[in-house]
Chains A and B, each alone.
Chain A
Amino acid sequence: MITDILFYSFMQRAIIAGLILGILLASLGVIATLRKMSFFGEGVAHASLAGIAVAMLADVAPLPIAIIWSVLVALIIYWLERSTKLHSDTVIGILFTASMAFGVILMSQTAGYQPELISFLFGSILAIRSIDLYIIGGLALIIMLWFVPSIKQLTYLSLSEESATVSGIKTKTQTLLFYIALSIATVLGVKILGIILVSALLILPAATGRLLSKSFKSYFTVSIIISEITILLGLFLSYIKDLPSGASIVLVGTAFFLLASLLGKAKT
């Protein structure tokens, strides 16, 4: 059965993209949950619908446009959070619904059934083309080249921004870069997981990893391993049972989380 799955090139692409996204989203998810930014991923993913709609109307590749759109949304969130007294959740809530509403209006101008839209909403293992794989791999590599050497700084500023600033860390720059990286990573995951479910891969592995870890190093490692297993099992399930890939991956991730919760409860 496994050799059958690996035989198809669309499955090969989905698995490679999934494994890359697993590392990327789980790593960023650890910092995102520490910063209580789980809703940010949700907001950016939903907001990307407008970018996808613009691309479809213009008949160009949706992923690059969705990425640019989401980065713009992330920058506006960053700016509004600092220039107004509004709470972060409020700013994200306003922007993501506004951007999504704009996307829905644009979509309504496109006649007929939109199969690509459905795959963007719910994710599809058939959706990853070679060009998407290059985009996912290339951007993931760039993000990780910045993220890995910045983990200590990002963790420190997430725990105590003032202490981090005094110690010489460029906290504003690093926070802004984190917002951009998180928005790009979230949109990269949209093709497999779908707009509606992609943020789960930011939250679930990090939440499960936290329940099973006692040190920061093990937290990162466990979260990434859980993420990779979740994606592989989810894609496998999606192929065998002909289920939407995003929903399959999220349900496997949720099962791991529940298992970890029970294990954690049994220990205490």
Chain B
Amino acid sequence: MPKQSRKTNKAAIDVHHLSVSYGENKVLDNISFQIPVGNVAAIIGPNGSGKTTLLKAILGLIDVDQGSISVFGNKLKKQRDLIGYVPQKFEFDLNFPITVEEFMGLARKKNQPALVIEEKIKEVGLTPMILQKQLGELSGGQLQRILIAEALFNEPKILILDEPAAGIDIAGEKMFHDIIDHINKDHDTTVLIVSHDMAFVSKVVDQVICINKTLICSDAPKIAMTEKNLKKVFEDVNLSHHEH
């Protein structure tokens, strides 16, 4: 997949000597890496390796023990408006009566026209007809695309997705890859994805960040995804469990 986004050497996200603990349990230990502007980067690692914790730290959702995270060279708090986020788990009562349009309206800012909802829906390959459906009626893939559309409301300069392709069929995956490509190229948005999908990581992303409590690698897939590195990341975990 050829990339045309404006990549620079400037860091969109700069994680510097980051450590995070939950009580006595150290989840991330002295992690440092940079994601250049315009990159599509993926964080890989086995379950419990600290991927989601790292994402939460980057989003400013949790307190860190030490280290710093800067976004476009500034402190995270000042740059939150530049980040869009698609959560891994969206657990809600499927019978809760709310239409897709109403759900998307929750994230729309007062100064944004109502038309922005239709605009973003089309951008993720859905038709406005879906707006009248109830949120609980959507398939996993449709809900995922709605969440991505919602995250695009603020025209984020960084889009962060936590295991977005989980539970999506092959056709849905292809559509998802196209959407990520469109967001990256046409919106000049840096994308950071937590993923278990090795095929996606090796084909689509520019940078792989491998972690297992500590940083194992942070480089282009061809350089980072060596047998030695993957063995170190996944230790005794059978890799086939992580491939889709």
| Identity of the chain A residue whose Cβ is nearest the Cβ of B135 in the assembled complex | A159
Cβ of B103 under 8 Å from chain A? yes
Cβ of A152 under 8 Å from chain B? yes
Residues of chain A within 8 A (CB-CB) of B155 are none
What is the CA–CA distance of A159 and B106 in the complex, to the nearest angstrom? Answer: 10
Cβ of A155 under 8 Å from chain B? yes
Asked if residues A159 and B99 are in contact (CB atoms below 8 Å), the reply is no
Of the candidates B56, B83, B84, B96, the one whose C-beta lies within 8 Å of that of A34 is: B96
What is the CA–CA distance of A186 and B96 in the complex, to the nearest angstrom? Answer: 23
Cβ of A108 under 8 Å from chain B? no
SS class of chain A's interface: helix, strand, loop or mixed? helix
Asked if residues B97 and A219 are in contact (CB atoms below 8 Å), the reply is yes
What is the CA–CA distance of A163 and B93 in the complex, to the nearest angstrom? Answer: 17
Asked if residues A213 and B97 are in contact (CB atoms below 8 Å), the reply is yes
What is the CA–CA distance of A72 and B187 in the complex, to the nearest angstrom? Answer: 49
Whether A215 touches B83, Cβ cut-off 8 Å, given contacts A155-B106, A156-B107, is no
Of the candidates A152, A166, A168, the one whose C-beta lies within 8 Å of that of B61 is: A166
Chain A contact-residue range equals 20 to 34
Chain B 76-106 interface residues, beta-carbon cutoff 8 Å to A: 80-81, 83-85, 87, 90, 92-93, 95-99, 102-103, 105-106
Contact with B along A166-196 (1 / 0, CB 8 A): 1110000000000000000000000000000
Residues of chain A within 8 A (CB-CB) of B93 are 34
Question: How far, in Å, is B218 (CB) from chain A's closest CB?
Answer: 23
Cβ of B134 under 8 Å from chain A? yes
Question: How far, in Å, is B51 (CB) from chain A's closest CB?
Answer: 15
Cβ of B59 under 8 Å from chain A? yes
Chain A 124-170 interface residues, beta-carbon cutoff 8 Å to B: 152-153, 155-156, 159-160, 162-163, 165-168
| Identity of the chain B residue whose Cβ is nearest the Cβ of A34 in the assembled complex | B96
| Identity of the chain A residue whose Cβ is nearest the Cβ of B99 in the assembled complex | A215
Cβ of A218 under 8 Å from chain B? yes
Residues of chain A within 8 A (CB-CB) of B147 are 163
Residues of chain A within 8 A (CB-CB) of B107 are 156, 163, 167
Contact with B along A212-228 (1 / 0, CB 8 A): 01111111000000000
What is the CA–CA distance of A167 and B59 in the complex, to the nearest angstrom? Answer: 10
What is the CA–CA distance of A155 and B153 in the complex, to the nearest angstrom? Answer: 18
Residues of chain A within 8 A (CB-CB) of B106 are 152-153, 155-156, 159
Asked if residues B61 and A214 are in contact (CB atoms below 8 Å), the reply is no
| Identity of the chain A residue whose Cβ is nearest the Cβ of B151 in the assembled complex | A163
What is the CA–CA distance of A215 and B103 in the complex, to the nearest angstrom? Answer: 10
Asked if residues A162 and B97 are in contact (CB atoms below 8 Å), the reply is no
Cβ of A46 under 8 Å from chain B? no
What is the CA–CA distance of A25 and B98 in the complex, to the nearest angstrom? Answer: 20
Of the candidates A159, A210, A217, the one whose C-beta lies within 8 Å of that of B92 is: A159
Asked if residues A210 and B59 are in contact (CB atoms below 8 Å), the reply is no
Chain A 96-133 interface residues, beta-carbon cutoff 8 Å to B: none
What is the CA–CA distance of A166 and B83 in the complex, to the nearest angstrom? Answer: 7
Of the candidates A166, A213, A219, the one whose C-beta lies within 8 Å of that of B80 is: A166
Question: How far, in Å, is A218 (CB) from chain B's closest CB?
Answer: 7
Which residues from chain A sit less than 8 Å from chain B, CB to CB?
A: 34, 152-153, 155-156, 159-160, 162-163, 165-168, 210, 213-219
In the complex, besides A159-B106, A165-B59, A165-B61, 10 extra interface pairs with C-beta distance below 8 angstroms are A152-B105, A153-B106, A160-B87, A162-B85, A163-B85, A167-B85, A210-B97, A214-B97, A216-B98, A219-B98
Which residues from chain B sit less than 8 Å from chain A, CB to CB?
A: 56, 59-61, 80-81, 83-85, 87, 90, 92-93, 95-99, 102-103, 105-107, 134, 147, 150-151, 154
